[in-house]
Amino acid sequence: MNTLLVNPAVPNTFWSFAYALAFIRKKSAYPPLGLLTVAAMLPKPWPKRLVDLNVERLSDDDLDWADIVFIGGMMIQHKSAKQIIARCKEKRLRVVGGGPLFTCEPDVFEEVDHLVLDEAEITLPRFLQDLEKGSAKKIYRADGYCNLTQTPIPLWSLAKINKYASMSIQFSRGCPFNCDFCNVTVLFGRKPRVKSASQIIAELDAIYKTGWHSNIFFVDDNFIGNKKYLKTELLPALINWRKNKKGCIFFTEASINLADDPDLIEMMAKAGFDSVFIGIESPDEDSLTECLKSQNKNRDLLESVRTIQRSGLQVQGGFIVGFDSDTQSTFQHQIEFIQKSGIVTAMVGLLQAPPGTRLFDRLRQENRVVGTFSGDNVNGSTNIVPKMGLETLLQGYRSIMRHIYSPRNFYRRIRTFLKEFKTPEVRVPLDFQRILAFFRSAVRLGFWGRERFQYWYLVLWTLFRRPRLFPLAITLSIYGHHFRKIYELYIR
């Protein structure tokens, strides 16, 4: 059975890095890890083809070749998924939908033939068995969570590796925390489940054998959910693996309590991690209490961020405005925290309520859920009625974005970060692509951009003050170009 796996397009967003990727001649930030993993679960005799709309077009020839089409993705890919499904139905193809996009809102995809929901390790084998017998059902759901030690190595041979800026790998699912607005625990539970260290090493070997020797993103929603296993098994294995592997740099997501464990931070740095995304959400205690962000409370958040930075991990941060506890002063508090912290990559979004979360259920009872959840909280939209009023919220949100991504404040934040940042244990190799990216940035930002004064000041400052961090300074400058474009596209 000819099997076509299709990854819907991701619109230009904060995390798409679309405007930054042009500097390194890449098409997309990350490959569709979920679909590549599903491909490895399908019968081996089935011919398989992957089409990622973020790096290539879906042709009629692809659809004419296929007998069955598997579509996966995230909520933000909803619009593109609908378009793909429509084309498939025109061709009278059998369509199978799965992943968070379909799991969170199965009712809006009536036209899909089979909805294989929740974790594919459980539901996909059931579907395949029924399909072989000719009795495949409309919906397949799991009544529990899978054992990740049974998850196969993604089928990397299907991906056009050179089109991406980073590869992806997953170590764990689930998070011990249960933030009010987050749907991670809805999808994957509160008890972190992990792959074995030997599995991760095998996956890394598979990626390395493709010729990929660069950035690898551990896509875990909270990488440090099981600290004991990290310290005793995975991180020692990664440290050993990297002894004979050149170039691979890791980054991931974690909770702020990482700052409380200096041994863990040190091991992550030695293992090759150079950055971590952390949900800061708000510097206001009332807002943290409201959203049940207990791990962020009763601590000096600024000092926690600096502790991690001084240990050699760049902190990227997520921030939210629109909590019921927020006031007019919240917006200025957010600006001040972001600038003082030196969090260069600061994702500030409006509060949204993903279906299935406690926030969604509470606000629906209050008749405060409006429209649909877009999956993109940085495009100036929300699916809730904010307590302070939508116009007041939008004005405050625009003031934050206008301030933190103005060239003057953005480049000042880079310097604040570089002053605190310990040079990483593992340095990013200065390859030909990065050299070209510098020259492209010099032309686009240093000569044609409105940030040209700040750009050249940063170049000189870094060369004199932190010369070993010069490639990182240029990378962050390019990120700033992308973030300003997103601000201009959606918010200004």
Instruction: Quote the pLDDT of residue 244.
Output: 84
In a domain, 296, yes or no: no
- Whole-number pLDDT of residue 377: 79
Q: What is the torsion angle, in degrees rounded to the nearest 10, for the CA atoms of residue 270, residue 294, residue 181 and residue 264?
A: 10
Confidence of residue 428 (pLDDT cuts 50, 70, 90): low
Q: What is the pLDDT of residue 165?
A: 96
Which of 91, 125, 140 finishes a domain?
A: 140
Q: Is residue 278 part of a domain?
A: no
Tell me how many domains the chain contains.
2
Lowest mean pLDDT among 1-10, 40-49, 323-332, 426-435: 426-435
- The answer to whether the beta carbons of residues 166 and 214 sit under 8 Å apart is yes
374 compared with 282, residue with greater pLDDT: 282
Q: Residue 164: CB partners within 8 Å, gap ≥ 6?
A: 26, 27, 28, 29, 30, 31, 55
| pLDDT for residue 427 is more than 70 | no
- Rg of the chain over Cα atoms, rounded to whole angstroms, equals 22
Using the predicted structure, report yes or no on whether residue 401 has a pLDDT greater than 70. yes
Q: Which residues of 257-288 are buried (b: 16+ CB within 10 A; e: fewer)?
A: bbbeeeebbebbbbbbbbbbbbbbbbbbeebb
62: in domain = yes
Average pLDDT over residues 462-488: 95
pLDDT at 410 > cutoff 90 = yes
Q: Would you state the pLDDT for residue 423?
A: 86
3-state secondary structure the chain: CCEEEEECCCCCCCCCCHHHHHHHCCCECCCCHHHHHHHHHCCCCCCEEEEECCCCCCCHHHHHHCCEEEECCCHHHHHHHHHHHHHHHHCCCEEEECCHHHHHCHHHCCCCCEEECCCHHHHHHHHHHHHHHCCCCCEECCCCCCCHHHCCCCCHHHCCHHHECCEEECCEECCCCCCCCCCHHHHHCCCCEECCHHHHHHHHHHHHHCCCCCEEEECCCCCCCCHHHHHHHHHHHHHHHHHHCCCCEEEEEECHHHHHCHHHHHHHHHHCEEEEEEEEECCCHHHHHHCCCHHHCCCCHHHHHHHHHHCCCEEEEEEEECCCCCCHHHHHHHHHHHHHHCCCCEEEEECCCCCCCHHHHHHHHCCCECCCCCCCCCCCCCCECCCCCHHHHHHHHHHHHHHHCCHHHHHHHHHHHHHHCCCCCCCCCCCHHHHHHHHHHHHHCCCCCCCHHHHHHHHHHHHHHCHHHHHHHHHHHHHHHHHHHHHHHHHC
- Whether 63 is in a domain gets the answer yes
149 found inside a domain: no
Rounded to whole angstroms, how far apart are CA atoms 169 and 87?
Answer: 31
What value does the mean pLDDT of the chain take? 95
Entry pTM: 0.96
Over residues 281-307, the mean pLDDT reads: 97
Range of the domain at 19: 3-140
Return the structure tokens found at 384: 């809730």
43 occurs within a structural domain? yes
pLDDT digits (tens, 9 = 90+) for 304-356: 999 999 999 999 999 999 999 999 999 999 999 999 999 999 999 999 999 99
Kindly state the average pLDDT of the residues 92-104. Answer: 97
> Average pLDDT in the 351-376 region?
93
Question: Does 115 fall in a domain?
Answer: yes
- Residue 273 carries which side chain, given as an amino acid letter? F
Instruction: State yes or no: pLDDT of 374 exceeds 70.
Output: yes
Last residue of a domain, one of 140, 161, 194: 140
Name the token pair of 148.
Answer: 């990740």
Q: Give the end of a domain, one of 140, 166, 184.
A: 140
310: left (phi over 0), alpha (psi -120 to 50) or beta: alpha
What percentage of the chain reaches a pLDDT higher than 90? Answer: 92
Q: What is the pLDDT of residue 425?
A: 67
Whether the per-residue pLDDT at 152 is higher than 90: the answer is yes
Look at residue 218 and tell me whether its pLDDT is greater than 90.
yes
Here the CATH number for the domain that contains residue 43 is 3.40.50.280
Tell me if 339 sits within 8 A of 416, measured CB to CB: yes
Domain membership of residue 351 (yes or no) is no
pLDDT band at 426 (very low <50, low <70, confident <90, very high): low
Q: What percent of the chain has pLDDT over 70?
A: 99
